[in-house]
Amino acid sequence: MPQRLSNWPLLLASFCLLAACSSLQHPTSVTASLECSTKHIEETAKSARGDWKLSYRAGCTDKLGRRAGGSEILHLVAHRGALFAANGYWMDEDHEWYGGKARPIPWGQVLRLDAVAEGWQVDAMFDKHLRIESLSSVRFTTDHQGRALDEPIDMLIAAAFEGNGQAGINLFQRDDARARWTKIPLVKGPLGERGVANSVRVITLYHDKRTGVDRLFIAAGTHGIWSGSLVEPQTLKLHWDRAPEFGPLPIRALSMIEANGALHLSVGSHIYRRIDGERPSYELVASLASVGSDGLVPSVGGIRGMTAIPNPSGQGQSLLFLWSPGKFSRACILRLDPDPADWLRYQAPVVESCLDDLIERHLRGIPVRFVLGAYNHMYALKGPLESEPILLFGVEAVVGDREAPTASNQAMGEGGFYAGAIVVARKGPNNYRLTEVNCYTFPSESALVAVRTITASPFKDEADGELFIGGYDANFHRGRDTAWIFRAKPEVFLRLFASPESAC
């Protein structure tokens, strides 16, 4: 165990010297009078350090006078040259569910950035949907009969459950020509369960290898996996199956990816493979029941951030994911390699690293009690000299020391949720580095807590080649306007592997 530092402010100061921080000023309080323009955001929040720039802070007003807020940024998605963000108001004190008096009542929003200089705008607000849990840009190349389209069709799709689940689960499809969203009921309410059981965490497009049809898949909480296809290319109309392809499920699905030529799905401690065809089915291909899954907690989830990577020892692809089963999770990174005798099957899991140990070293010995992360997919960053992409994803941690900076509204016993937003970078098996968004967080600054989403800039302006990173996790603690987005150049992460001593 590294030597524990008893004076955390001195550690922050040493980080700052190493990082050549541009400013140590504390950020000005964000209010509804703050403009969403990038220039105003950057001038008002002068705490951006090193190579980091603040792109969005909740509680601003866009150029049409609409308030952009939110407790969390759940997704960042590039679509047709613009950047879109999904936010939510879970645990936000402006919302009436948490004692707020704001009018109109704030509900989940999709924000849009057309150019860095223009600042973020409210593209849509979805009445009675607390947070937009999924947002994805998908590209159809076939219609529902497998006929090739004259030109690919890109669609932006959002998903959320309405109310607390009483009114069902809905999709929202954007008409880019008119800048309008159409509501599409997917699972009709009442759903019988509340909250996390209705969580819609995954949207993905997959090409059925037997039928030749591009199909859109939605993981609708514990209610199952729904599938749809493009029936009218001219009107962008989608046809959805009346019942789930697979389900109901014992716990919400958190990952859905293509690997080894097939769609794979993670549900708690299990991984299933889709058998394509007119009558598709799902088969169990891996189980972590023997890896401490007795305490599986629905809000934590189990297998998170599942990603397909090259098999380090042979044919096919391996599955890499973060294993977080319960409230004492160490957040270990596991890898499933294909069976040499049958690369559609997987061998016993390989433990590449456990993130609680890495975070304790990163924090110079501050004890770590719990880690959660890999909220969505792992982002693949390809460097100019890299043969294999560096994988990036965010984590949050509960620390057990009052001297460590924790989110002021998320204290727990002797510590609480660490205020900084930690990014994990992986460069091949057993080669991990950690850094933090904006280098670190002073106790007096707005807490960042967690990175939820990372995506590449779609712009050719000053943000060309940069990464946009957004997040925060409310963790059942109330706050106000805690959502954020930063941007930085890829070199922030690439250079982590050039030197064993990273500034932050």
Residue 185: its pLDDT value, please? 96
Q: Is the peptide bond before 104 cis (omega within 30 degrees of 0)?
A: yes
pLDDT in tens, 242-277: 999 999 999 999 999 999 999 999 999 999 999 999
- pLDDT-derived band of residue 7, with 50, 70 and 90 as boundaries? very low
Residues above pLDDT 70, as percent of the chain: 90
**pLDDT computed for residue 31 by the predictor:** 43
Residue-level pLDDT at 17: 33
Confidence at residue 354, expressed as pLDDT on a 0 to 100 scale: 97
**Choice between 51 and 440, residue whose per-residue pLDDT is larger:** 51
Question: Any residues with CB less than 8 A from the CB of 10 and at least 6 apart, and which?
Answer: none
Q: Which of 63, 103, 108 is nearest to 84 (CA)?
A: 108
Q: What angle do CA 224, 206, 160 make, to 5 degrees?
A: 45
Residue 41 has pLDDT above 90, yes or no: no
Q: Which residue has the tokens 């932050």?
A: 504
pLDDT at 23 over 50: no
> pLDDT tens across 305-362, in order?
999 999 998 889 999 999 999 888 999 999 999 998 887 889 999 999 999 999 999 9
- Identify the pLDDT of residue 344: 81
Mean pLDDT of 375-384: 92
Between 276 and 164, the more confident residue is 276
Asked if residue 492 has pLDDT above 80, the reply is: yes
Q: Would you put residue 361 in left (φ > 0), alpha (ψ -120 to 50) or beta?
A: alpha
Per-residue confidence (pLDDT) for residue 432, from 0 to 100: 97
User: What is the b/e burial string over 437-456, where b = at least 16 CB atoms within 10 angstroms of the residue's CB?
Assistant: bbbbbbbebbbbbbbbbbbb
Residue 10 confidence (pLDDT) above 60? no
Band the pLDDT of 46: cuts 50, 70, 90. low
Average pLDDT, the chain: 89
Quote the pLDDT of residue 327.
Answer: 82
Sequence-distant contacts of 340-345: CB under 8 A, at least 24 apart:
340/314, 340/315, 343/260, 343/311, 343/314, 343/315, 343/316, 344/260, 344/262, 344/273, 344/285, 345/285
Interval 64-88: pLDDT, tens: 999 999 999 999 999 999 999 999 9
